[in-house]
Amino acid sequence: MADIIGEISKEDFVKGYALNIQKKEAAIFVGAGTSMPSGNLSWMELIKPLADALQININSYNDLVDITQYFLNDQAGNRNFINDRILDSISDQQHDNKTLQAIAELPVSTFWTTNYDHLLEKYLEKSGRKVDTKRNDASLTNSIRGRDATVFKMHGDKDDVNDTVITRDDFMSYDEKHPNMSTALRGDFINKTFLFIGYSFNDPNLNYILGKVKRTNTTNRRRHFCIVKRIQKNDPIYQDNDQKFQQDEVLQKYKVADLNGYGIKTVFVDSYDEIPSILQDIKLKSLCNNVFISGSIEDYKDFDKSSADKLIFKLAYSLVEKNFKVISGFGLGVGDNVINGALQAIDDSDHRSLDDNLSLFPFPMADTNERTDEIRARWAKYRNKIISESGICLFLFGNKKTVDGKTVLADGMMEEFEIAKSMNKFIIPVGFTKSVAQKLWDKFNHELPNYLNPKDFQKLEKITEISEKSINESVQTILKLIEQLNPQNS
């Protein structure tokens, strides 16, 4: 299908949603499809025993909510079998669910879900988040102190199975029975950009949510996103059935256009296995406003101390001036100037805040009772924490002195490089500062990553004459490379 109204490219989606995360205006809506890799059922699989009992062919019936309602009517309003079906079909076993893991690792704090299981909450907790779960209207009035993730379970929870939303009557009376949850959802639709993951076009939950979106604002809706698997002829369900493939392909085209009418852009994938990788790209891109400066100096080599201090100060100042967040681990000879430059920029502006523009991670002091390997393990864990919060890692200088006064490469900086590389961070070594930075520049110049502009990167090789002018020019070159990676500028 070509030129589908409402389709957006993966690249534009990643940039757009990452920008919303940076602005703290992002939310995620999680559907049943995200729990299926952990062994849970799709809506159709969940409802099938009810349809079988009613002698309805579920494959030829589109409205699954009708089936649950018919079954409840047939049971004279007794939900016992439906409740047992929900409980029997739900597992909280995680089973290496890469999609939920990637969702939990996104720097997003607001999550909505129609799932009854606890998998989303478990993955958020596993990723180190403090989760506040809202299971009903009553839970909305209290909040957990220090929370950094809120999960709204708008259709209930397996722990209160009798109050789950599953029949047509449940959907139709939702606003009346859950007014506060409805109000919270409408508010988030106005204030945040949602990403829908795990919903099929036949999911009754999605259809209900779309009704909420439409009623939120009829003329000036926010743009939202939905990830959908593209209809493919090689899918086993279309084997020897060209007519069904053609019909579903056309139907998908019109459904995507319909979503567009609600302000929801569709991102197509050929396989659900692509989703974790896309979410990881979003995470990395969204963190490109956070710049970690790795560096240590004891031997200034071509620089004198004054020039080196000036370079680091101006770099930190300029980053904050451009509204980046500077992250520092207090590297010897570097950390003080990073902090002073960032603080000066914050002080010089009426629109900068300390929390938004500077994050400090002083290394924990070594306990004298710890063995060397224990100290290294503590510092490695700490470095992983620091670098995980950044999107771009700058490497400056990088040397230290041994106990006998010999200048050597800073092994801590090399470790930080390896960590940044393993996390797929954007790395920019400032080669002209020598030591580890030069070693990394040589390595990168040999096989330049595609995110570095060759013309600008070459300017980081050397400075022929260290002066006020050359330092200012070098800072501008570094800023240019960094700004090219930020979704606000791409």
Q: Which of 277, 112, 280 is nearest to 196 (CA)?
A: 112
Contact 115, 35 (CB under 8 A): yes
* 3-state per-residue secondary structure call for the chain: CCCCCCECCHHHHHHHHHHHHHCCCEEEEECHHHCHHHCCCCHHHHHHHHHHHCCCCHHHCCCHHHHHHHHHHHCCCCCHHHHHHHHHHCCCCCCCCHHHHHHHHCCCCEEEECCCCCHHHHHHHHCCCCEEEECCCHHHHCCCCCCCEEEEECCCCHHHHHHCCCCHHHHHCHHHHCHHHHHHHHHHHHHCEEEEECCCCCCHHHHHHHHHHHHHCCCCCCCEEEEEECCCCCCHHHCCCHHHHHHHHHHHHHHHHHHHHCCEEEEEECCHHHHHHHHHHHHHHHHHHEEEEEEECCCCCCCCHHHHHHHHHHHHHHHHHCCCEEEECCCCCCHHHHHHHHHHHHHHCCCCCHHHHEEECCCCCCCCCCCHHHHHHHHHHHHHHHHHCCCEEEEEECEEECCCCCEEECHHHHHHHHHHHHCCCEEEECHHHCHHHHHHHHHHHHCCCCCCCHHHHHCCCCCCCCCHHHHHHHHHHHHHHHHCCCCCCC
| Cβ-contact 134, 156 below 8 angstroms | no
Dist. CA 28–CA 5, nearest whole Å: 23
**Whole-number Å distance between alpha carbons of 93 and 90:** 9
Q: How far apart, in whole angstroms, are the C-alpha atoms of residue 155 and residue 61?
A: 23
Q: Is the torsion defined by CA of 477, 480, 485, 486 positive or negative? A: positive
Cβ atoms 357, 324 nearer than 8 A: yes
- Residues with a known catalytic role: 155
> Residue 72 is encoded by which pair of tokens?
């409840």
Calpha distance 168→72 (Å, rounded): 10
